[in-house]
Amino acid sequence: MSFGFGLVGLGLIADFQAKAIQAMTNGKLVACYSRSQKKADEFGQKYGCQGYADMTQFLAHPGLEIVSICTPSGAHLEPALQAAEAGKHLVIEKPLEITLERCDQIIRVCEKHQVKLAGIFQSRFSEIVHVIKQNLEQGRFGRLVLGDAYVKWYRSQQYYDEGGWHGTLKFDGGGALMNQSIHAIDLLQWLMGPVESVSAFAGTLGHERIEVEDAAVAALRFKNGALGVIEGTTAIYPGFMKKIEICGTRGSVVLEEDILKTWSFAEKQEQDATLLEKFGTKTKIGGGAADPAAISFQGHQRQFEDFVEAIETDRQPLINGVEARKAVEIILAIYQSACEGRPIALPL
């Protein structure tokens, strides 16, 4: 069975989503929506779907079952409400929304209308990330001691000046953390477990004319007792691949994007050498460190396939609304700590 997808918002990420849907065997892009009919028509011609500038007509398109929202971050709620009320299953690009109240509204409306909801965090669908998760669950790391996420990226001043919504509180909801580092933050909390408290600093150090941070650091305490650090920036040249470090009393792993830099355990297993050989080589994907377009669509494809399977089998998708909300809550706690100059306990 092939499910009909429709995209709302036709910026940069919509192209990646369209390619991901085209690569699926059980999904087809049937419709797209933009406030500009010209843009909708051009996108529709490019990807072989019907373009709309009227949301009601878009939602009534024959065979449309799944709506993926690619609008600016602070403009996810309104189309999400319309789509859910029309009975469409929902996929929403990160972040789910920019406040917890808006996230919760989306979650509630999907529950009310009994439609599935997923938040995009395609990094969780990396094969090596799942291997790390399995080894954590098997206890190979011993007691977790440190869990760190580093996203030291570069975005030019032109990126903020020309984007229209990037760097604004209303539509971005935050800067280097909410827009760029959120993928790494989601991975960190998924691997390490819930965050108990944060203490942070943030500032705008490398850009002008933006309302949000372009650099932030946070010290974390996880509920399991482990400690950690988050560093996120869009202000350093030339930009480096995001890095996740998971360290315990019996083993440690360092991951740069999907490149396994360190895989070391006190108790060896036969798989270890094979994993290092398979995942320890450099890939062509820069992960968006200096170029937002330098990502692969394969992670989106895997997440869409998980979502379709969730609909078919009536289970929760791997990253449902509640899961997608977690990284937003951590980031908002970091912002609050940086603003108020004190540690902030979670949940908020």
Domain residue limits at 20: 3-123+299-320
Residue 226 has pLDDT above 60, yes or no: yes
Q: Can you give the pTM of this predicted structure?
A: 0.96
CA distance 180 to 252: 25
pLDDT band at 289; cut points 50, 70, 90: confident
pLDDT surpassing 90 at residue 285: no
Burial of 77 (0-12, 13-18, 19+ CB in 10 A): buried
For residues 103 and 181, membership in a common domain is answered with no
pLDDT in tens, 254-282: 999 999 999 999 999 999 999 999 999 76
> Alpha-carbon distance 317 to 295, whole Å?
23
Task: Check residue 284 and give its pLDDT.
Answer: 52
pLDDT in tens, 119-174: 999 999 999 999 999 999 999 999 999 999 999 999 999 999 987 899 999 999 99
147, 18: one domain: no
Domains in the chain, number: 2
Helix axis angle, 271-279 relative to 127-137, nearest 10°?
Answer: 150
DSSP 122: G
290 — pLDDT class (breaks 50, 70, 90): confident
In this structure, are 158 and 236 located in the same domain? Answer: yes
User: 135 and 249 share a domain?
Assistant: yes
207 in the same domain as 73: no
DSSP string, 136-205: HHTTTT-SEEEEEEEEE-B--HHHHHHHSSTT-HHHHSSSIIIIIIHHHHHHHHHHH--EEEEEEEEE--
Exposed, middle or buried: residue 295 (CB in 10 Å: 0-12, 13-18, 19+)? buried
Are 110 and 146 members of one domain? no
Q: Kindly state the tokens that stand for 13.
A: 């990420």
Are 136 and 191 a contacting pair, CB within 8 Å?
A: yes
pLDDT at 287 over 90: no
Percent of the chain clearing pLDDT 70 (strictly above)? 97
| Residue pair 6/30 in contact by the 8 Å Cβ criterion | yes
Average pLDDT over residues 304-313: 98
Question: Phi, psi at residue 213, to the nearest 5°?
Answer: -75, 145
Q: What DSSP string runs through 46-78?
A: HHTSEEES-HHHHHT-TT--EEEE-S-GGGSHH
Domain check: are 194 and 336 in the same one?
yes
Give the span between the Cα atoms of 93 and 166, in whole angstroms.
Answer: 15
Q: Are residues 83 and 217 in the same domain?
A: no
pLDDT in tens, 83-129: 999 999 999 999 999 999 999 999 999 999 999 999 999 999 999 99
Does residue 67 sit in the same domain as residue 170? no
Q: CATH number for the domain including 247?
A: 3.30.360.10
Same domain, 193 and 334: yes
What CATH number is attached to the domain comprising 83? Answer: 3.40.50.720
User: What percentage of residues in the chain have a pLDDT greater than 90?
Assistant: 94
